[in-house]
């Protein structure tokens, strides 16, 4: 996802990993998994601040800027589950190292790109590498630690990921202000090198955990379907509108995604997305909530820095720092609100939280051409942050409680993919905003904020009408 906020179900994946023999230095294994995951967190947030500079330097139009983000999110969304399955079968350590090496190489390719096409190709391969390293990094973490130690390790991993994701836009903006957007990709190289060395030396040799074949057909159809849908939405939301080509691509996307569902139905429990998950109305509601809420967030983390730089003439550093209150407030308030959700159940927090986020988007309608930070930008971000605290904290628990024990791994992995797909679709719909200038940019930004508010209302309705709180245990007689 192209935000500094990770999907809460990422951490849940680590919590469920099967136990393996303890390594000699578990703290170094933790460091390796954190460094590898940080690559995805940094890249998912820092590029948003660099869009204006990339557009000017490479002559990218609005569609090109959309694809700078979505060329990364597309393979990550479609191949995330497949990457985890490949690691289970062929070796998690192997795929972690391969993914990290590929990420480092493609980061250099991004920095050396001389045109939009070469940058997009490198970004696509970055997304593939993230789909390899992310799930295997978490699986290694979960298999290394047990009991309370596992909880502490996952907490350290989650906190570090949040901190890195939040610091990414600030660091990226500083590098851009120093003279070039290319530095935002080169900062990945030392991180990747350190992660590779630590993983090679400290993570135990692989043991194949599964013998079942990979769902390659499902992964290919999902990638093609999401790619066609993203292209159709990108072109359709741009200046040319819904042409014959974009409508044809949309139809092809629907057909491909339909074939994907047929493939998954035939594979049954061996599918990357078992259709048995959708027998639960709660799981359907949580999936819709995740799609709408994280789609709205994806738009925020793209548009607010872009508008601040282009209309209010913020420096790239200031635009990146403008977003810091959101993850900070989320980190401070989530434990309390998560505990509250544990006492009263997840349904009401997940219904009310998105409504508060929608109110934050309503406040974002006050952001004008000069965008005073303290009176216009900060209030909107603070309200969004408090609303997110009520929604993000109980989401993992609700996802894991919405399906039977046999499907918890598939459910959390699928929810993480849906969160990233929400950002993918939202970014594809931002063409008219990124193509506008001056007062027109502010006007289209306001329309986008209103659309995001409506998406959050839809997220709230999904939780309220479809989510069923677990029944309280019967009192002892």
Summarised one tens digit per residue, pLDDT across range 207-266 is: 655 556 777 888 889 888 888 888 888 888 777 778 888 899 899 999 999 999 999 898
Residues 221 and 206 in one domain: no
Residue 448: the pLDDT is 94
What is d(CA 362, CA 51) in angstroms, rounded to the nearest whole number?
25
Residue 3: the pLDDT is 61
Residue 472: the pLDDT is 44
Domain assignment present for 476: no
Summarised one tens digit per residue, pLDDT across range 161-183 is: 767 777 778 888 888 888 788 98
Residues 129 and 141 in one domain: yes
Residues 92 and 67 in one domain: yes
Residues 202 and 349 in one domain: no
Domain assignment present for 475: no
Domain assignment present for 230: yes
Q: Is 43 exposed, middle or buried (0-12, 13-18, 19+ CB in 10 A)?
A: buried
- Of the candidates 2, 13, 189, the one whose C-alpha atom is nearest the C-alpha of residue 77 is 2
Q: Which residue has the higher pLDDT, 4 or 225?
A: 225
Residues 385 and 262 in one domain: no
Residues 305 and 446 in one domain: yes
Summarised one tens digit per residue, pLDDT across range 12-44 is: 555 555 545 556 677 888 888 888 888 877 776
Residues 209 and 223 in one domain: no
Cβ neighbours, 10 Å, residue 200:
13
Residues of the domain holding 420: 279-468
Q: Which residue has the higher pLDDT, 108 or 235?
A: 108
Could you tell me the pTM of the whole model? 0.82
Residues with Cβ < 8 Å from 148, sequence gap 6 or more? none
Mean pLDDT of 54-79: 87
Domain assignment present for 22: yes
Residues 283 and 418 in one domain: yes
Residues 83 and 126 in one domain: yes
Q: Which residue has the higher pLDDT, 202 or 405?
A: 202
Residue 112: the pLDDT is 94
Summarised one tens digit per residue, pLDDT across range 272-292 is: 788 887 888 888 999 999 999
Q: What share of the chain is helix, strand, coil (3-state, %, to 5)?
A: 80, 0, 20
Residue with tokens 């434990």: 335
Mean pLDDT of 435-457: 92
Residue 71 belongs to domain with CATH number: 1.20.1250.20
Residue 219: the pLDDT is 83
Domain assignment present for 477: no
Residue 16: the pLDDT is 53
Number of domains in the chain: 3
Summarised one tens digit per residue, pLDDT across range 123-153 is: 999 999 988 888 888 778 767 777 667 667 7
Q: For residue 121, is pLDDT > 80?
A: yes
Last residue of a domain, one of 225, 251, 271: 271
Residue 252: the pLDDT is 93
Residues 226 and 307 in one domain: no
Residues 78 and 220 in one domain: no
Residues 5 and 143 in one domain: yes
């Amino acid at each position: 996802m192209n935000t500094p906020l990770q999907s809460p179900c990422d951490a849940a994946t680590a919590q469920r990993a099967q136990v393996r023999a303890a390594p000699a230095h578990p703290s170094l294994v933790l460091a390796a998994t954190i460094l590898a995951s940080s690559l995805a967190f940094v890249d998912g947030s820092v590029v948003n601040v660099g869009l204006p500079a990339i557009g000017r330097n490479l002559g990218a139009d609005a569609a090109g800027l959309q694809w700078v983000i979505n060329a990364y999110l597309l393979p990550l969304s479609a191949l995330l589950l497949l990457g985890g399955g490949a690691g289970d079968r062929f070796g998690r350590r192997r795929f972690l190292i391969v993914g990290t090496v590929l990420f480092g190489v493609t980061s250099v390719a991004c920095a050396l790109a001389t045109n939009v096409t070469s940058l997009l190709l490198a970004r696509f391969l970055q997304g593939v590498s993230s789909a390899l390293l992310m799930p295997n990094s978490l699986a290694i973490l979960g298999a290394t630690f047990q009991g309370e130690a596992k909880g502490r390790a996952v907490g350290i991993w989650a906190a570090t990921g949040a901190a890195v994701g939040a610091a990414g836009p600030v660091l990226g903006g500083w590098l851009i202000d120093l003279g070039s957007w290319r530095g935002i990709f080169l900062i990945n190289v030392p991180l990747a090198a350190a992660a590779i060395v630590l993983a090679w030396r400290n993570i135990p040799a692989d043991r194949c955990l599964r013998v079942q074949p990979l769902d390659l057909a499902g992964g290919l159809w999902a990638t093609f379907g999401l790619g066609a849908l993203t292209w159709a939405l990108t072109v359709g939301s741009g200046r040319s509108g819904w042409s014959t080509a974009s409508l044809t691509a949309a139809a092809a996307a629907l057909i491909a995604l339909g074939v994907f569902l047929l493939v998954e139905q035939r594979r049954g429990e061996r599918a990357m997305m078992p259709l048995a998950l959708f027998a639960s109305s709660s799981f359907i509601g949580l999936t819709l909530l995740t799609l709408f809420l994280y789609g709205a967030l994806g738009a925020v983390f793209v548009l607010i820095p872009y508008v601040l730089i282009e209309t209010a003439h913020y420096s790239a550093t200031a635009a990146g720092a403008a977003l810091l209150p959101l993850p900070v407030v989320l980190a401070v308030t989530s434990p309390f609100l998560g505990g509250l959700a544990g006492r009263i159940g997840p349904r009401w927090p997940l219904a009310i939280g998105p409504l508060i986020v929608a109110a934050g988007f309503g406040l974002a309608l006050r952001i004008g051409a000069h965008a005073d930070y303290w009176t216009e930008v900060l209030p909107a971000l603070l309200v969004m942050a408090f609303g997110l605290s009520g929604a993000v904290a109980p989401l993992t628990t609700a996802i894991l409680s919405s399906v039977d024990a046999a499907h918890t791994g598939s459910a959390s992995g699928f929810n993480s993919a849906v969160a990233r797909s929400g950002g993918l679709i939202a970014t594809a719909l931002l063409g008219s905003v990124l193509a506008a200038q001056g007062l027109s940019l502010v006007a289209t930004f306001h329309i986008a904020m209103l659309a995001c508010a409506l998406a959050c209302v839809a997220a709230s309705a999904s939780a309220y009408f479809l989510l069923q709180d677990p029944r309280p245990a019967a009192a002892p007689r």
